[in-house]
Amino acid sequence: MKKLILGVIPALMLSACGESGTADVLHQAGIEEYTTAMVATEGNDVTGMVTFRRTGDGIAVTAHIEGLQPNQQHGFHIHQYGDCSAPDGTSAGGHFNPESTRHGGRDHDERHVGDLGNLEANENGEAHVEFIDDRLQMDGPHSILGRGVIVHAQADDFESQPTGDAGSRLSCGVIGVAD
């Protein structure tokens, strides 16, 4: 009987994660915030933190990034894969685009879900941004959980397809559950 119960519990846990996914289970458990520590890619010094918090109006995104080129804009995107293993960050794949749309700015009608605009570095090479995004999802089929976040070397022009011509990847992080 003990073996049967011990076998049933993991099966039930796995079935709970099956269709709805891990992000849905976390939502049901009251997890309302995800975060990522940004790690510099090879040859760069860009680091920081990005948080994603569920609100009634959408997902609140807060980023604190340092080590950027002073007084410049840098593309800021969620990428398809939560993989920062490549020295240049390319293992994170392209922009997160589950709806197969054209690249655009955060306020454009048509854009990738992962298009978060630009970070504006101050004279000290630091950027701080806070905004609400109504296209990001913390659960469901297009959840951002486990995806990559990239800070790019150049500004996103919001037009060049498919990436916005934002240049190389300065920093990479993987979105996880905030502790």
Catalytic residues: 77, 79, 95, 103, 112, 115, 152, 169
Cis-peptide, bond into residue 162, ω within 30° of zero: yes
